Amino acid sequence: MSASALLSARVPDIRAAIVGPGSVGATLGIRLAAAGAQVCLVARGEHLRAILQNGLELVDRVGAGSTSLRLPASESPGYFGVQDLVVVAVKAVCLGPLLKSLAPMIGPASVVLPALNGVPWWYFHREGGPFEGTRLRSLDPDGSLDSALDARHIIGCVLHLSAEILAPGRVQHTAGRRIVLGEPDGSDSPRARGLQRLLQAAGFECDLSTRIRREIWIKLIGNLSFNPVAALTGCRMDQICADENLLDAIRAVLAEGIEVARRLGIDVGLTPDQRIDIARQLGAARISMLQDLERGRPLELAAIVEAVLELAQMTGVSMPSTRILHALVRARALAQGIVF
């Protein structure tokens, strides 16, 4: 099937690969498959073995309940051939060895949707400002990410949903279904509209933005503040939002993040307390950095915190509260034996 199928209205014509069908990836993959898309999964380890043996199950606390599907899955991206859509839903810390291996999946018109937390490595691609083309060393120190994938394939993506892995092959969607898409150059493109239609058909609330970096910052400042606090305290989102002492720390970090965005020409359009109100909508979610710490997995500190600190240095912003929080959560992870 031609990679131009994403531009059509026929969902069954669309070939979509989910690279990393963990909590978020599995939620996207099962919903796309249930809508009729031809979905394949690139997974590994115990998760892959469970998917091959029993299928992939989504316990949906947001929609219509549980769904279990048997979808083609492999550890090798080259097994499936060229795809119309490649959703990269791995942790940012896993991108280095992965991106180059995706080449067999990517044809001339393929769209790559990085469904990642934090600052994306392509942030300054087609950005149009004074830092156009700048490579962030906290994310891509040797340029391997930049060289592994032609950034023209990328459509920016911000996910406002929460999910977690219950067991190998079994994932729970706990909150939210909003997705924001945007071309890195701010254009209103046919391929972005085609992707919007596909995600809407899969049951997501999907919006297009001509200012995708603003959308990235709206989510990013929440991750920058809430994720380290959750990892340090073990608290769910509702517990953090009910604790005024914790919220004072959250407000300080939010204010610092908002100022970095402003120096980059991004008006977030929210006060710290307005951003906290958005976070309350996640309810009792256990957010990603807490999940990773509990499972002994590397934390996404580079994308969520260290990249913002690098941007702060570039723009002359002091971030004392963020630096303290970063030092504490990094020390806790190292004490637990987590290697960066």
Active-site residues, by number, are: 219
| Amino acid identity for residue 59 in this structure | V
Q: Rounded to an integer, what distance in angstroms lies between the CA atom of residue 199 and that of residue 193?
A: 10
- Residue 281, CA distances (Å) to 184, 277, 306 in order: 28, 7, 26
Counting beta carbons within 10 angstroms of the beta carbon of residue 215, is it exposed (0 to 12), middle (13 to 18) or buried (19 or more)? Answer: buried
Determine phi and psi for 271, rounding to 5 degrees: -85, 165
Helices (H) and strands (E) in the chain, counts: 13, 10
Pairwise CA distance, residues 194 & 199, whole Å: 9
| Helix, coil or strand: residue 266 | coil
The strand pairing partners of 158, in sequence order, are 180
